[in-house]
Amino acid sequence: MRRISIAVVAAVTLGTALPAAPATADGTTGASAGLARCAAGVCHFDVPPGTYDVRLELGGADASSTSVTGETRRSLLPETPVPAGERVVRAFTVNVRTPEGEPTGPDGTPGLDLRIGGSAPALAAIRVTPARHAREIFLVGDSTVCDQPGDPYSGWGQQLPQYFRKGVSVANYADSGESTVSYLGNPRLWATVRPLIRRGDPVLVQLAHNDKTTDEATYRANLETLVAGVRERGGQPVLVTPIVRRWFNADGTLNNGTALLVNGLGVDHPAVVRSVAAARDVPLIDLTAKTKELVESLGVEASKALYLTAEARDNTHTSVRGAARYARLVRDELVTRHLVPRGSVRVG
C-alpha cells in the first residue's frame, strides 16, 4: 500500500510542472496527458492491439527507484535508481494483444496497463506511441514460459521483456499445459501466432514438459512442423530445450529422467530438440544444459529459491527470481547467436 501511494504523489507532484498536451487519435500522448492517465500506481492507455514504444522520465526531488510491469504481470523495466534531484529517461517496446496474457486465458483489460512499482517510485512523465520499426520476438511454449496470471508463479518469457530496450518487443504466446500436439491443434495457439510472424522475427519454441505421452516420431514431426511454419512466414525459428525440473539425486546431480525431461515412453526431449535443430539448421538455445549447470552449482538448498519449492512444493515452475535468472540466460543466447542486436539489450 505504501509503494502505491508514493507512486501517485510522484506522478501528481512532478506532472503539474509539465506543459499540457492533448492525446491524439493514434494513441500518441504528450507528457502531462500521459500522467493524466495514471492513478493509484497504474497508467492506462486506450490503444488497440499492436506494438507500442513507451518513453518514461523517472526521478524527482528525492532519491527514487522505479520499476514497470505491464498487462499480465510482464516485467518491462527493471528497478531503476535515480539520485535525488535528477531525471533519467528510459524506453521500451511493448506488445498489446487480446487475451493479454495466456492465449487461452481471460481477455484482460482492453488497452495497455502499466504498473509503476519499485522501492521508491517516481514517474515524472510518460509517453506512448505506436512502434514503427520494432522487432518482435515470439514465444511458443508452456507454463514454464508463459505470462503467469498469479503470484508467486512466473514464466521466463514473462521476465524476458525487461532485458530489451526500445525497438525489441516480446510477444509471449506460451500457454499453460500445452504440448507440441495441443499447441498445433488449438486454433487459439499456432493458427493464431503463425499469421502474425513477419520477416526476420525470431520465434522461440520451448515445448516438452507436457509431451509426457508423445512418442519420439510424433514429437520430432511436430517440432519440424513448427520450424517449417515459421520459415514459410519469413521468420527465424529458434528451438529451445526445456528448463530442468528441480529433482536431485543423492549425489547432488539432477535426476536423468524426471529432471531432464525424459518421458514415460523413454523419449529424451532435449536430445530430440537438439537433433532437429542440427538436422534443420535451426539456431538452438540449450536451456536444459544451462539451467542444469546453474541448478547443480547452487545445490539442493540454494536452488529452491529459483522454483516454488517452499511456496507450493513445486519443483517445475519458477519463482519471479528463477524466471528472471532463466530469462537472462535466454537473452544472452539471443545476443551470442546474433538473433537480436547487442545494442538492443538492457544489461543487468
Tens-digit pLDDT profile for residues 32-63 = 468 999 999 999 999 999 999 999 999 999 99
**Confidence band, pLDDT 50/70/90 cuts, at residue 13:** very low
Quote the pLDDT of residue 348. 67
Q: Average pLDDT of the chain?
A: 91
Percent of the chain with pLDDT over 70: 90
Quote the pLDDT of residue 107. 95
Quote the pLDDT of residue 133. 86
CATH level 3 topology of 135-344: Rossmann fold (3.40.50)
d(CA 184, CA 10): 47
pLDDT above 70: residue 9: no
Quote the pLDDT of residue 7. 33
Q: What is the mean pLDDT of residues 319-347?
A: 95
pLDDT above 60: residue 22: no
Tens-digit pLDDT profile for residues 146-181 = 999 999 999 999 999 999 999 999 999 999 999 999
Q: What is the mean pLDDT of residues 330-339?
A: 96
Tens-digit pLDDT profile for residues 96-147 = 999 999 999 999 999 999 999 999 999 999 999 999 989 999 999 999 999 9
- C-beta neighbour count of 181 within 10 angstroms: 16
Domain extent listing, the chain: 2-130, 135-344
Q: What is the mean pLDDT of residues 266-287?
A: 98
Q: What is the mean pLDDT of residues 183-209?
A: 98
pLDDT above 50: residue 66: yes
Quote the pLDDT of residue 180. 98
CATH of domain 2-130: 2.60.120
Quote the pLDDT of residue 312. 96
Q: Among candidates 148, 56, 130, 140, which has minimal Cα distance to 94?
A: 130
